Amino acid sequence: MTKLTNLKGPAIFLAQFIGDAAPFNSLEGMAKWASAYGYKGLQIPTSTPHIFDLEQAAASQTYCDDVKGMLASYGLEPTELSTHLQGQLVAVHPAYDLLFDGFAPLAYQGKPKERQAWAVEQLKLAAKASQRLGLKAHATFSGALAWPYFYPWPQRPAGLVEEAFAELGRRWRPILNAFDAAGVDCCYEIHPGEDLHDGATFERFLAEVGNHPRANILFDPSHFVLQQLDYLSYIDIYHDRIKMFHVKDAEFTPNGRSGVYGGYQGWVERPGRFRSLGDGQVKFKEIFSKLAGYGYDGWAVLEWECCLKHPEDGAREGATFIRDHIIHVTEKAFDDFAGGKKSGDFNLRVLGLKD
């Protein structure tokens, strides 16, 4: 029988809030800001060194202890680190080279091989930094080699997808081994634009990395709404691999002009849109219930991405939304009151096996 667990939270992913003006230009400024809204944890991106210096964190326990101490002074703790941008660069199809170049430092731009090697090293540093911070999970993207061919027209050459996933596995296996050595789960956000964008592609990847125990999932239902994938059944199928949870809302309202593919329209006009918590269609009561029932004991982390609402309103409302959805699980069965004391042979007597 699965042990019921309380999710931790509310927490907030900082990536979309970082800016040039206070309080969003420093980790301490954002810690004070998030604490005032009632957040208990921060998910920290590692692509902005003035917010969090990944190289220093991997090398220095003192730096990590100082970060944890500062956050604790505001009643916060780090939930996970994120290498979404660096993970994207582990595998980039040439069609996207120019678009993704900005994810890397200037010294590596225009140099795909050097950029990819830098990204791999960043992931390994993140494994060590997560270990120093005492974290259990890490957030990233898988990158993509096959994504330009996701629609089967023109007809794909035989073996194209298989070779793309074989190469993806070859690139990620040493990184997963580094996370294993650090005792940290590497959690891929299942996301369109990545080769890992649904259950079938995640299973392909698992096969290529030998069902590596550190290859796990960051569950974000908003991306499944936009794909029209059953995100509740997804939890049933993959709950053993779900080690992180982004609480993000979305809506899908198809019409006579466009549907899942969006018609190249902007975020406001397209049928599938990300929304602030409570403004979309995601069934969060069911999600929180399933995760609690399956024993998920990680964080519930707000990721704000909304085409309409101001980010600070989304953050303020999100803290309350998550807190109200976290289930304080019961420690006893509701019908315990009806039971009586049982002797050691009671079950045998009930079955008629003993007088």
Output the pTM of the full model.
0.94
Tokens of 3: 């042990």
Tokens of 85: 């941008």
Residue 3 lies in a domain: no
Specify the pLDDT at position 348.
Answer: 84
Positive or negative: CA dihedral 276, 277, 280, 281: positive
Using one digit for the tens of pLDDT, what is the confidence trace for 297-327?
Answer: 999 999 999 999 999 999 999 999 999 999 9
Specify the pLDDT at position 1.
Answer: 57
Specify the pLDDT at position 4.
Answer: 85
Q: What is the mean pLDDT of residues 170-197?
A: 98
For residue 329, pLDDT beyond 60:
yes
Q: Could you list the residue range(s) of the whole structural domain that residue 206 is in?
A: 8-350
Share of the chain above pLDDT 70, in %: 96
**Residue 100: its H or E element:** helix 97-100
CA distance 288 to 273: 22
Tokens of 74: 């505001």
Mean per-residue pLDDT of the chain: 96
Report how many domains make up the chain. 1
Residue 346 lies in a domain: yes
> Where does the pLDDT of residue 293 fall: very low under 50, low under 70, confident under 90, or very high at 90 and above?
very high
Specify the pLDDT at position 203.
Answer: 98
Tokens of 278: 């409570």
CA distance 27 to 44: 9
For residue 31, pLDDT beyond 80:
yes
Using one digit for the tens of pLDDT, what is the confidence trace for 194-220?
Answer: 999 999 999 999 999 999 999 999 999
> Where does the pLDDT of residue 12 fall: very low under 50, low under 70, confident under 90, or very high at 90 and above?
very high
Specify the pLDDT at position 336.
Answer: 63
For residue 337, pLDDT beyond 60:
no
For residue 25, pLDDT beyond 60:
yes
Residue 2 lies in a domain: no
Specify the pLDDT at position 257.
Answer: 98
Using one digit for the tens of pLDDT, what is the confidence trace for 66-90?
Answer: 999 999 999 999 999 999 999 999 9
Of 61, 87, 81, the C-alpha closest to 175 is 87
CA distance 32 to 28: 6
> Where does the pLDDT of residue 151 fall: very low under 50, low under 70, confident under 90, or very high at 90 and above?
very high
> Where does the pLDDT of residue 141 fall: very low under 50, low under 70, confident under 90, or very high at 90 and above?
very high
Q: At what angle do helices 311-325 and 284-293 cross, to 10 degrees?
A: 50
Share of the chain above pLDDT 90, in %: 91
**CATH no. for residue 278?**
3.20.20.150
> Where does the pLDDT of residue 334 fall: very low under 50, low under 70, confident under 90, or very high at 90 and above?
low
Of 13, 6, 5, the C-alpha closest to 187 is 13
Residue 157 lies in a domain: yes
Q: What is the mean pLDDT of residues 249-261?
A: 98
Residue 86 lies in a domain: yes
For residue 166, pLDDT beyond 80:
yes
Say how many C-beta atoms besides its own lie within 10 A of residue 328's C-beta: 8
- Of 287 and 355, more confident: 287
